[in-house]
Chains A and B, each alone.
Chain A
Amino acid sequence: MLDASEGYTTEDGRKIGGVVMEMKNITLRFGGVVAIQDISFDIREGEIRAIIGPNGAGKSSMLNVISGFYNPQEGEVFYKGEKRPPMKPYQVARQGIARTFQNIALFEGMSVLDNVMTGRIRQMKAGLLAQALWKGRAEREEVENREVVEKVIDFLEIQHIRKTPVGRLPYGLKKRVELARALAAEPSILLLDEPMAGMNVEEKEDMSRFILDVNDEFGTTIALIEHDMGVVMDLSDRVVVMDYGKKIGDGTPDEVRGNQDVIDAYLGVAHD
């Protein structure tokens, strides 16, 4: 089913394209602690790819490697077919990889609208003077960017809070604003770090719906981390399972569910 270049079609009829990002033999160490040990996997265009595992499995570290916050000691990252040199996080972001954070990293003092607008920084190219004078290219750009931003705001149903300072919003809405900011960048890969962490059942359902809709509507490639098994299995096309920094499973939700190592990791067996 998984051809290296061709892609595949999901059960619900969505076309999944070729490999957009490939992680090859990634090893990440912090001093003597091995956070990620020799892990390889790929992300295909248009799919929802999940990385799951118990607490401390190295999921967040993996996401930080993809987004450039950590540079691995060993292994290679291929993005759109090209090997990626070690990069700073802002450089990765400019290549079109947007992310959210487990603990939410928003600009608390700025309005929702301004927060989402920062997502467009990559697309703004007009010179400083032109921007200040609101002339020519700057004006066009600002209008275009506002259109994208308003569309995203509409889509995630946060119109009613557009002018509110983010610091005043409740947790669930903050998570949604963060998603909006990442989405406004029109990323080629969207990384979500525990998008459902700390939410109640209703908020989780909302968030799941948004993730599915985003993928469906914009065809955005999504890689997400989650430790809530149930949510992940419903959402994702393919799942990587990590435990103690190692990959113990990779495949469709059904394949992973039947994997003995995965069952052991989650239900717990005595490690000899």
Chain B
Amino acid sequence: MPDQLIFAMEVFLNGLMAGVLYALVALGFVLIFKASGIFNYAQGVMALFAALTLVGVMEGQVPFSHLVNAVLGTEIHHFGWHVPALLAIALTMLVMIALAWAVNHFVFRHLVNQEPIILFMATIGLAYFLEGLGDIMWGADIKKLDVGLPQGINTIIDEYTYNLFDYGFFIDNLDIVATLIAAVLVAGLIVFAQYTKQGRAMRAVADDHQAALSVGISLNWIWVMVWSLAGFVALVAGIVWGTKSGVQFSLSLIALKALPVLMLGGFTSIPGAIVGGLIIGVGEKLFEFLIGAPYLGGATENWFAYMLALLFLVFRPQGLFGEKIIERV
């Protein structure tokens, strides 16, 4: 087999894995958009905030310690204990639920029936607020996150492919775990949305507020639930991305990569977010390998996804799986 083809296969596989990570972030967007029609610009920052909180809790960091120390003149930074990963994840989830409640109670409850653009602006405000809150609570330095996910080259795949092609593929264990997590998450979300009362209520609220009220659905309850779900997805994305590249501000920028994913997959489709993520992941890696690096001077990964999204906007604005835009005339 020619070397070029083998390399391309490895690039393809790595692209799939990267795509799963994009999809994880895109999922959070889809959830909120489906249930409330809000395009949540803050999704990426939520992932950052979740990861910061998780690290802080695990290491027993005192929240707001800089602020407290500055005001009271004390010198406290750590409680002096370490919280096991699973417990810390559960605690962080509680924080995300509290955040969901606060976001609904103080912001979106008051913006019912407003234009989508106003809701969108509110989420931009939320993004900056959360960014600042994360800094004040946990400090702005780059942190390492290790909840015990396996990392490094997967030796089994390496050996197997070496025996097959005389060339071992480099696949990161973390990427494999991320794929499994994403699969479970998506299956869970689909079952939830399609087969449970709460899921049906969520779809109902997304469709028509008045009608939802008239069958006995509490809008506030559903919104808090949806933001909690988005918080949960953000936490998962934060864990995976944080483990991969450290917990730092740039984590919140992964949200930007989710945008082209959404344009491909459609803003309302959970499977769409997955397939969109995979196409972008594979597309940008293969493009870089086949065309970008040899002919265009490289670094095409930075813009390829957006170009692809632009093409989709022109030819298929509802995305691959988006709900058909039905209009009776």
Q: Which of chain B's residues have a CB closer than 8 A to the CB of A94?
A: 216
Smallest Cβ-Cβ distance to A122: which chain B residue? B216
Query: Nearest Cβ in chain A — how far from B233, in angstroms?
Result: 17
- Contact present for B211 and A107 (CB under 8 Å): yes
- Contact present for B214 and A98 (CB under 8 Å): yes
Q: A93-B213, A109-B323, A121-B200 are in contact. Are A88 and B218 (CB under 8 A)?
A: yes
Which of A101, A117, A124, A167 lies in contact with B214, CB distance below 8 A? A101
| A185 at interface, CB cutoff 8 A | yes
Q: A90-B217, A131-B195, A181-B215 are in contact. Are A121 and B201 (CB under 8 A)?
A: yes
Q: A105-B208, A105-B211, A134-B195 are in contact. Are A93 and B200 (CB under 8 A)?
A: no
Interface string of B35-73 (1 = CB under 8 A from A): 000000000000000000000000000000000000000
Bound CA–CA A57/B214 (angstroms): 23
| A99 at interface, CB cutoff 8 A | yes
| A172 at interface, CB cutoff 8 A | no
| B166 at interface, CB cutoff 8 A | no
Query: Nearest Cβ in chain B — how far from A153, in angstroms?
Result: 16
| A168 at interface, CB cutoff 8 A | yes
Q: A107-B203, A118-B201, A132-B191 are in contact. Are A67 and B196 (CB under 8 A)?
A: no
Interface string of B209-243 (1 = CB under 8 A from A): 01111111111000000000000000000000000
Query: Nearest Cβ in chain B — how far from A110, in angstroms?
Result: 6
| A128 at interface, CB cutoff 8 A | yes
Bound CA–CA A182/B213 (angstroms): 12
Q: Which of chain B's residues have a CB closer than 8 A to the CB of A167?
A: 326, 328
Smallest Cβ-Cβ distance to B218: which chain A residue? A90
Which of A98, A110, A131 lies in contact with B215, CB distance below 8 A? A98
Q: Which of chain B's residues have a CB closer than 8 A to the CB of A126?
A: 197
Bound CA–CA A112/B179 (angstroms): 36
- Contact present for B196 and A118 (CB under 8 Å): no
- Contact present for A118 and B215 (CB under 8 Å): yes
| B159 at interface, CB cutoff 8 A | no
- Contact present for B197 and A101 (CB under 8 Å): no
Smallest Cβ-Cβ distance to B200: which chain A residue? A118
| B198 at interface, CB cutoff 8 A | yes
- Contact present for A110 and B326 (CB under 8 Å): no
| A38 at interface, CB cutoff 8 A | no
| B192 at interface, CB cutoff 8 A | yes
| A148 at interface, CB cutoff 8 A | no
| B204 at interface, CB cutoff 8 A | yes
Bound CA–CA A121/B198 (angstroms): 9
- Contact present for A122 and B207 (CB under 8 Å): no
Q: A106-B208, A132-B191 are in contact. Are A90 and B213 (CB under 8 A)?
A: yes
The bracket for how many chain B residues form the interface is 20 to 34
Query: Nearest Cβ in chain A — how far from B132, in angstroms?
Result: 34
- Contact present for A121 and B196 (CB under 8 Å): no
- Contact present for A132 and B213 (CB under 8 Å): no
| A253 at interface, CB cutoff 8 A | no
Smallest Cβ-Cβ distance to A99: which chain B residue? B214
- Contact present for A107 and B218 (CB under 8 Å): no
- Contact present for A121 and B217 (CB under 8 Å): yes
- The B73-103 residues at the A interface (CB cut-off 8 A) are none
Query: Nearest Cβ in chain A — how far from B268, in angstroms?
Result: 8
Q: Which of chain A's residues have a CB closer than 8 A to the CB of B218?
A: 88, 90
Q: Which of chain B's residues have a CB closer than 8 A to the CB of A89?
A: 213-214
| A165 at interface, CB cutoff 8 A | yes
- The A121-144 residues at the B interface (CB cut-off 8 A) are 121-122, 124, 126, 128, 131-132, 134
- Give the B-binding residues of A (Cβ under 8 A): 67, 69, 88-91, 93-94, 98-99, 101, 105-110, 114, 117-119, 121-122, 124, 126, 128, 131-132, 134, 165, 167-168, 181-182, 185
Other than the given A99-B214, A168-B328, 14 more pairs (CB < 8 A) read A90-B218, A98-B215, A101-B210, A106-B211, A107-B203, A107-B211, A108-B207, A108-B208, A109-B203, A109-B207, A114-B203, A117-B200, A118-B215, A167-B326
Q: Which 4 A-B pairs have the closest CB atoms?
A: A93-B216, A105-B211, A107-B207, A89-B213
- Give the A-binding residues of B (Cβ under 8 A): 188, 191-192, 195-198, 200-201, 203-204, 206-208, 210-219, 323, 326, 328
- 13 sample A-B contacts, Cβ–Cβ < 8 Å, listed by A number: A90-B213, A90-B219, A93-B214, A101-B211, A105-B208, A105-B211, A105-B214, A108-B207, A118-B204, A119-B215, A131-B196, A132-B191, A185-B215
